Amino acid sequence: MFKQELPLLFPDDAQVRKVQKAIYDPFEYLMLRHKEGRLKTAFKNTLGKVVYHAACHQRVQNIGAKTRDVLQLVPGTTVETIERCSGHDGTYAVKKEFHEISMKICRPVIDRVSKAGADRYGSDCPMAGHQIANGLPGEVPPQHPISMLRHAYGI
């Protein structure tokens, strides 16, 4: 919103442009720190095989696969990225009349997570992560990538 929508609504507002330049996706910021040699990479734990669902809001930002790039800095970690709609779309998936359709949209993502045999899976979008979990057998919850990184640091 602050990076894309407000500048479109207020193109001549210098304060909006100032905010736009100061806003970062968390993993975009971490990769900038890494490129500057300022990200601590003394990870204590591997993440193993991770299946990562690239959230729609990140793809729209056009910043690249920063979450994947940061997670791959963790030794012994491989990341399989899924760039496909989870079918959640805000409140769409939780409405009774659309839930079945939303799960059908998510089925290809669920199938890839199931077949991957990963140690963990998740998305930068908590709603997408839970949508995927809703279609998986058992009680394996998604993990937000920040939580994965926290584990890697041993925090």
Average pLDDT in the 55-59 region?
78
- Of 24-38, 81-95, 113-127, 128-142, least confident by mean pLDDT is 81-95
Q: What is the per-residue pLDDT for 137? A: 87
**In this predicted model, what pLDDT tens digit does every residue of 76-98 receive, in sequence order?**
999 999 998 888 887 887 888 98
pTM over 0.85: yes
Give the H or E element holding residue 87.
none
- In this predicted model, what pLDDT tens digit does every residue of 135-147 receive, in sequence order? 998 888 999 999 9
What residue spans of the chain are helical by DSSP H?
Answer: 5-9, 14-22, 26-35, 56-61, 66-71, 96-116, 126-135, 145-153
Q: Rounded to an integer, what distance in angstroms lies between the CA atom of residue 142 and that of residue 132?
A: 8
Q: What structural domains does the chain harbor?
A: 42-153 (3.40.50)
